[in-house]
């Protein structure tokens, strides 16, 4: 499995952002206001992944204080980090799509102002999850294989 690159994250960001923008543009009147609870589970997941990344990194780097982890658990954490980063890119795209649609009306329409604030919080939570996912993915990389990061075999 290769590392998640910026190109891998741009595609879901753009596609989800455009879809959400178009949905909000044409159906905004029939969509209920966004709730402030929406970004909370995403932020909690980001916090969990930050702490998990720290533990996985300690195990992979053979820190003497690290509690042992099975290799399959480390691999699952790496997969979770990769998946979380991709989903977080979509969440950030959705938040930007909503912001782009409601920002012009935020000062005059109360619901648009509410949706703008919730979308900004969602963007922050999605950004945290994106960073946590990338850290978790990279935490599971064995430091002795850094020369393989670019996909080339070592000389010799």
Q: What pLDDT is stored for residue 156 in this prediction? A: 40
The number of beta carbons lying within 10 Å of the beta carbon of residue 31 is 12
With a cut of 80, say whether residue 100 has pLDDT above it.
yes
Q: What pLDDT is stored for residue 147 in this prediction? A: 54
Mean pLDDT, residues 115-142 = 94
CA atoms within 13 A on the CB side of 28: 19
Distances in Å between the Cα of 123 and the Cα atoms of 20, 38, 70, 119, 127 are: 14, 11, 34, 6, 6
Encode pLDDT of 60-72 as tens digits: 888 888 888 888 9
Mean pLDDT (the chain, rounded): 89
Q: What pLDDT is stored for residue 9 in this prediction? A: 94
Q: What pLDDT is stored for residue 148 in this prediction? A: 54
CB–CB of 56/81 below 8 Å? Answer: no
Q: What pLDDT is stored for residue 107 in this prediction? A: 84
Which of 76-85, 111-120, 128-137, 139-148 is predicted least confidently? 139-148
CB–CB of 127/88 below 8 Å? Answer: yes
Using only the alpha carbons of the chain, give its radius of gyration: 19
Q: Determine the Cα–Cα distance for residues 3 and 134; give it in Å rounded to an integer.
A: 9
Encode pLDDT of 2-44 as tens digits: 888 888 999 999 999 999 999 999 998 888 989 999 999 999 9
Q: What pLDDT is stored for residue 16 in this prediction? A: 97
Domain spans of the chain, in order of start: 6-30+37-142
Band the pLDDT of 146: cuts 50, 70, 90.
low
């Amino acid at each position: 499995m290769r590392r998640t690159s910026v190109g891998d994250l741009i595609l879901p960001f753009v596609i989800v952002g455009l879809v959400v923008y178009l949905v909000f543009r044409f159906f905004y009147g029939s969509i209920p206001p966004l709730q402030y609870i929406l970004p909370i589970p995403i932020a909690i997941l980001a916090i969990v992944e930050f702490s998990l990344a720290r533990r996985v990194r300690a195990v992979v780097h053979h820190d003497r204080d690290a509690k042992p982890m099975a290799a399959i658990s480390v691999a699952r954490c790496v997969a979770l980090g990769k998946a979380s980063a991709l989903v977080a890119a979509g969440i950030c795209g959705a938040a930007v799509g909503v912001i782009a649609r409601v920002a012009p009306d935020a000062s005059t329409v109360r619901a648009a102002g509410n949706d703008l604030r919730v979308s900004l919080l969602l963007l922050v939570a999605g950004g945290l999850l994106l960073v946590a996912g990338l850290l978790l993915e990279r935490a599971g990389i064995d430091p002795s294989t850094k020369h393989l990061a670019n996909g080339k075999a070592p000389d010799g």
